[in-house]
Structure 1
Amino acid sequence: MNPEASALPDLTDVRLQLLRPLLSDQVAIAAQDPLGTPPEPFPEETAGLSQNAVDKRRREFAAGRAAAHQAMRALNRTPVPIRIGPKRAPIWPDDLSGTITHCRSCALAAVARRATHPGIGIDVEEDTPLSRDLWPSIASRAERDWITAQADPGQAGKLLFSAKEAAYKAQYALSTCYFGFDGLELHFNLAEQSFTARFTAPQPPFRVGDHLQGRFAIGSGVIITAVEILNNEPCT
């Protein structure tokens, strides 16, 4: 074994450290490597998978569930099955809020007590350019103008996509509403690695103009975004 290689930090740990500053300390986080051999999910979890799911999908699913179980343990909770709901969203225990995300090379989970965090959303994407052909389907005119103005428009487009995914997941815990990418409009503060997601249509309990705050990190080959909704924190 190369001693220099063995001294290198584990890529999964590096990505976990990218996520940590994006969320408050009350949120437990964990990471798994889908390219490795993640622990087997509970049978109740895999029951929701399509029988035709390919190996890549099964690996990412298993890694995401393993990360969620690990985050539960960090909250001193015994892991329980996180089933797939009728709208494909994970079903969490009544007293917990959680979110799972995965891409080809990374799976992350974040879990908190619902009493403090009624909603959490995280997203991880490979740090590869988002094709210009996809911009109109995920971005408003103002957002496309912002993407075009950036030094690396392809990366900016992927960042926008990821941030909308994180914001969508966080709000879904409260609204249980599905809507398109045009339901949120984002504004970024690149210097502070933060963004604001503003509702462009009512999604009760959210009103037009309500907004969610998020943060992002880019490094080690991925883009990570996170949004947390704190109890009693106004969204206006």
Structure 2
Amino acid sequence: MIAPRPAPQDISQQRQHALRQLLSDPIAIATCDPHGDLPEPFAEESACLSPNAVEKRRREFAAGRASAHQAMRALDQPCAPILIGPKRAPLWPEGLTGSITHCASCAMAAVGFTRDFTGIGVDVEEDTPLSRDLWDSIASPAEQTWIAAQPDPGQAGKLLFSAKEAAYKAQYSRSERFFGFSGLELVFDTNKGQFTACFTSDQLPYRSGDLLRGRFAITTGVIITAVEISTSELCP
């Protein structure tokens, strides 16, 4: 007997539950289905999109903003436009920090107060294999050794990619620096669903050797990763 497929609402709830487990309680989270009924973004937000943006891009953007607005409401904060800065990062209202992510089947957001967190990073990717041809561009030799040793190297490569994205987003709110995938080297504890990201060079105010800590989940066809940096952490 073939089991019935989960309803889209059930899948969304499972994904939201998975994200909830990756972040501490003071961080508000929300998820949205890009294929569902979506509220219109603020006009100022829509203006950030290219006039030539395709429907897929517009729906994913709207789903990401809808998730962010829902998370803001969960913090009892008024909804406000989340614009895009000159370096393409979201511009959060005063007193808030957060992260928005989306893939073809899911959009997510996590938002917290700057009094509690200096940075938050979340990333969601479809649970599809990362091509071996891309390993050199995202992974250090040590990371490639780890990928190759995993039961599903393609999935492990996609997990590494996602985790680096989440760590990069979390640190960016402080450093406002672009750097390549080689700027962070990751170590995973797959049994605990955790990872650490070590800076391989100075990205002020972060120094080479500083660590960020994250968590991950693989569920319902997606890979979810998250990093939070609290104001109480000793990292400068």
TM-score (norm 1): 0.96
Q: Which residue of 2 aligns with 1:204?
A: 204
Q: Which residue of 1 aligns with 2:112?
A: 112
Q: In the aligned structure 1, how far is the partner of 2:44 from the partner of 2:28?
A: 23
Q: Which residue of 2 aligns with 1:132?
A: 132
1:170-200 Cα shifts (integer Å, max 9, x gaps): 0001111010000000000001100000000
1:119-198 aligned at under 5 Å gives the runs 119-198=119-198
Q: Which residue of 2 aligns with 1:76?
A: 76
Q: In the aligned structure 1, how far is the partner of 2:128 from the partner of 2:112?
A: 30
Q: In the aligned structure 2, how far is the partner of 1:188 from the partner of 1:10?
A: 29
Q: Which residue of 1 aligns with 2:65?
A: 65
1:220 maps to 2:220? yes
Q: In the aligned structure 2, how far is the partner of 1:187 from the partner of 1:51?
A: 41
Q: In the aligned structure 2, how far is the partner of 1:109 from the partner of 1:9?
A: 17
Q: In the aligned structure 2, how far is the partner of 1:6 from the partner of 1:207?
A: 46
Gap change, CA 1:9 and 1:55, over 3 Å in 2: closer
Q: In the aligned structure 1, how far is the partner of 2:61 from the partner of 2:9?
A: 24
Question: Residue 13 of structure 1: CA displacement?
Answer: 1.1
1:143-182 Cα shifts (integer Å, max 9, x gaps): 0010001000000000000000000000001111010000
Question: Residue 234 of structure 1: CA displacement?
Answer: 2.0
Name the Cα RMSD after superposition: 1.4
Q: In the aligned structure 1, how far is the partner of 2:224 from the partner of 2:8?
A: 21
Q: In the aligned structure 2, how far is the partner of 1:60 from the partner of 1:151?
A: 32
Question: Residue 9 of structure 1: CA displacement?
Answer: 5.5
Gap change, CA 1:194 and 1:152, over 3 Å in 2: same
Comparing 43-52 with 119-128, greater Cα deviation is found at: 43-52
Q: In the aligned structure 1, how far is the partner of 2:8 from the partner of 2:57?
A: 28
Question: Residue 38 of structure 1: CA displacement?
Answer: 1.3
Counterpart secondary structure, 1:118? strand
Instruction: State the AA in 1 paired with 2:139.
Output: A
Gaps of 5+ in 1: none
TM-score (norm 2): 0.96
Identity of aligned residues (%): 65
Counterpart secondary structure, 2:191? helix
Q: In the aligned structure 1, how far is the partner of 2:49 from the partner of 2:88?
A: 10
